[in-house]
Amino acid sequence: MSAAAIGPIAPIALPTGSEVAGPRRVGDGAAFGDVLGDAIASARANEATATDLAARFAEGDTSVGIHETVIAAEKANVSLRYATTLKNKLVEAYRELMATQV
């Protein structure tokens, strides 16, 4: 198996402009865009950590343990799934909005 570095996850450009109204805050809740941004940032950070640990483990770095490497990979997996789900929800909501008959 080659140890080619995985490129970082590019941030998704949120829809801006007149098509979508600005983020609405209900009470003290966070804007959905902020939650999504946070999730993506988390996913990037976790993926970077996992890749770094895996690379160091493969090189024989004795400070990296097996369970640390495996758990980091699992976290990266979950974080990416979460961010993807949020993105899908946003796209779905956008499409629904666009399909609304005015």
**Positions in the binding site for other proteins (CB under 8 A):** 30, 34-35, 38-39, 42, 62-68, 70-71, 73-75, 77-79, 81-82, 85, 89
**Cα dist from 12 to 47, 61, 80, 91, 95, whole Å:** 16, 34, 13, 11, 16
Q: Where are the alpha helices (DSSP H) in 1-102?
A: 32-58, 66-98
Beta carbon nearer to other proteins, 17 or 24: 24
Note whether 83 and 47 are within 8 A (CB).
no
Least separation in angstroms between residue 76's CB and other proteins is 11
Our CB check for other proteins shows the closer of 63 and 100 to be 63
> Least distance to other proteins from the beta carbon of 95, Å?
17
Size (the chain), residues = 102
Q: Closest approach of Cβ 70 to other proteins, in Å?
A: 5
